[in-house]
Amino acid sequence: MAEHPIYVTSPLLPALEEYLPYLEKIWATKTLTNGGPMHIELERALCSYLGVDYISLFTNGTVALITALQALEISGEVITTSYSFVATAHSLLWNGLTPVFVDIDPDSFNLDPSKIEAAITPRTTAIMPVHCYGGPCDVDAIQAIADKHDLKVIYDAAHAFGVSRKGDTILKHGDLSILSFHATKVFNTFEGGAIICPDAKTKTKIDRLKNFGFVNEISVVDFGINGKMSEINAAFGLLQLKHIDQAIAQRRQIDDHYRHMLQGVKGLHCPAQSEDVTQNHSYFPILVRDDFPASRDEVYERLKQNNIFARRYFYPLISAFQMYSHLESSAVSNLAVANKIANQVLCLPIYPGLSTSTVEEIAAIIKGF
């Protein structure tokens, strides 16, 4: 029994005194928002850290998703996944778009490219895949389909901060990629998000859309929203960046230790990324398969009785929520793999500061069945 409750994640939160110099700078300039010095500095620092050319910071990842769709003038139907956080599909509804759910690949949990073309109709204008748990989508296959059918690709990369393949960031694929800097994510600004843009022109458009559509003091040319990141959030992001490499390294150690402790347990599967992916270890999903002596929910409950709060990401599927369940593409028969994985998956606690002994305790509880 864990002494204190152990949650699936705990935010990266540097010591209080480390925040003070950042706050002093803001108090000195009296600039609180609207693209102040912290905002400019964080955009520069993130471009450099992530290896991207242009980034536009947002108040959160959901408004970034909504704005990305608006910026590309997406209409009609968008192909996406039901195996994600609900904000992925909600961003489509906020733009008056119809989500069309396509099933996932059983190994990567990402959109299965071989099933995308069958879902394309004359109304389809875009694909919105998710790099689930930070694992890269099959970006080449998805781009080939998009090129063939003249579709835009907007990646929900909320989980993919800092992920690269063969040394290249995965955030430069498709037309736009969206990040979330929510407290629960690997890199946080308390609340925050961003759009990765391919060029200066697109960034200018997106920057305008997040500021009500203003081009200058007296002209509004788009029905934009207020999506701006404040100076406090940007400053907190700069501080996070100082700690992020160490935080990801600690996550990697926890990931390795879980794998070591859980290896060979019958009916339990710990999905792995290919060797050429540099992960951020944002999640540690396990699959509790039919030949495990207990169900996924029994494992979840047993952990809870021991003060350990694992999460069933992603259960229920987005397609099961009432505002989506009526869609033809939400049928269980259309999403057989996603439904199966949603009933088997459990994300175990992983965050910097989670002790080796707690990892061992969690593994022992699971092995106790």
Q: How far apart are CA 272 and CA 172, in angstroms?
A: 23
By CB under 6 A, residue 60 contacts ligand PLP: yes
* Candidate residues 79, 87, 126, 254; the one interacting with ligand PLP per rule CB under 6 A: 87
Q: Which helix (H) or strand (E) holds 48?
A: helix 37-50
Q: Are 112 and 141 in contact (CB under 8 A)?
A: no
Q: How far apart are CA 189 and CA 144, in angstroms?
A: 35
By CB under 6 A, residue 229 contacts ligand PLP: no
Residue 84 or 124 having the CB closest to ligand PLP: 84
CB of 153 to ligand PLP, least distance (A): 16
Q: How far apart are CA 47 and CA 194, in angstroms?
A: 11
How distant, in Å, are the alpha carbons of 7, 286, 294, 358 from that of 307? 9, 19, 19, 11
How distant, in Å, are the alpha carbons of 122, 178, 271, 287 from that of 284? 39, 22, 9, 10
By CB under 6 A, residue 130 contacts ligand PLP: yes
Distance of CA 244 to the CA centre of its chain: 16
How distant, in Å, are the alpha carbons of 172, 260, 340 from that of 83? 22, 27, 11
Residue 85 or 187 having the CB closest to ligand PLP: 85
By CB under 6 A, residue 61 contacts ligand PLP: yes
CB of 216 to ligand PLP, least distance (A): 29
Q: Which helix (H) or strand (E) holds 214?
A: strand 214-216
By CB under 6 A, residue 104 contacts ligand PLP: no
CB of 219 to ligand PLP, least distance (A): 29
Residue 148 phi/psi, 5-degree rounding, is -60, -35
Compute how many other C-beta atoms are within 10 angstroms of the C-beta atom of residue 37.
15
> What string marks each residue from 299 to 338 as x (binds ligand PLP by CB under 6 A) or -?
----------------------------------------
In three-state secondary structure terms, 50 is helix
CB of 317 to ligand PLP, least distance (A): 13
CB of 148 to ligand PLP, least distance (A): 26
* Candidate residues 39, 152, 182, 281; the one interacting with ligand PLP per rule CB under 6 A: 182
CB of 86 to ligand PLP, least distance (A): 8
* Candidate residues 104, 112, 135, 159; the one interacting with ligand PLP per rule CB under 6 A: 159
* Candidate residues 22, 85, 155, 283; the one interacting with ligand PLP per rule CB under 6 A: 85
CB of 140 to ligand PLP, least distance (A): 21
Binding site for ligand PLP (CB under 6 A): 60-62, 84-85, 87-88, 130, 156, 158-159, 180, 182, 193
